[in-house]
Structure 1
Amino acid sequence: MNVLEELYQTVESRKTEYAEGSYTRYLFEKGLDKILKKCGEECSEVIIAAKNGDKKETVLELSDLLYHLTVLMVNEEISWEEIEDELSRRELKTGNLKQFHQVDKNT
């Protein structure tokens, strides 16, 4: 089992078992809006750390983001296996570069 699967199991247990002072449990009690807000905040912090070129801070913020995304996954009953399956399907695709609409800024 890898660290992300272990994290998932820990988060899953916090959803169903009361743990005094558990931040994870707090997020579940507050609900989806709070979980989504934290995911957004952490994503912004990753962007800022990376933009600042601070690798150590970027690693810390990415870890926070992955934790909060895991809380979201557990809340929405999405497993790491489902994510891995989707990523595997995408790995098989080739030539899927999206074409962007060109805008003529002179008109």
Structure 2
Amino acid sequence: MFEELYQEALNRKQNPKEGSYTNYLFDKGLDKILKKVGEEATEVVIAAKNDSLDELILETNDVLYHLSVLLVEKGVTLEALRQEAATRVGKQSRLAERKEIDTY
């Protein structure tokens, strides 16, 4: 699924289409894309806290879409993500070195 979103964003970057929201984001630039990623990530958190699965599914798709646009804008390939993920497989987390997350 994420690969399809990424490929669609890459296609829009390489072959702009008038009226495309993706091209609107590319035209507006990095700051607009980052703003949308932040907004959508916040909406994922709110949906999860509200215990709404439908809302969580919707907002997760939105954040994945905007992340794909960001990655294309910055020239990050899916292969680079795969390579990084591969370095993490089987590694044990060092929980003692992580900061505690405050819950309210």
Q: Does TM-score exceed 0.5, indicating one fold?
A: yes
Normalising to structure 2: TM-score of the pair? Answer: 0.87
The percent identity for this pair of structures is 50
Moved more, 52-61 or 10-19: 10-19
Normalising to structure 1: TM-score of the pair? Answer: 0.85
1:18 deviates by 2.4
Tell me the residue number matched to 1:51: 49
**In 2: Cα distance, 1:38 partner to 1:5 partner:** 19
SS at match of 1:74: helix
Which has the greater radius of gyration? 1
Map 1:1-107 to 2 at 5 A: 3-100=1-98
Give the AA of the match of 2:90: L
Structure 2 vs 1, CA of residues 96 and 20 (structure 1 numbering), >3 Å: closer, same or farther? same
Which of structures 1 and 2 has the larger relative contact order (alpha carbons within 8 angstroms, sep 6+)? 2
Q: How many residues align structurally? A: 100
CA RMSD of aligned residues (A): 1.7
Runs (5+) with no aligned partner, structure 2? none
Structure 2 vs 1, CA of residues 48 and 19 (structure 1 numbering), >3 Å: closer, same or farther? same
1:90 deviates by 1.1
Tell me the residue number matched to 1:105: none
Runs (5+) with no aligned partner, structure 1? 103-107
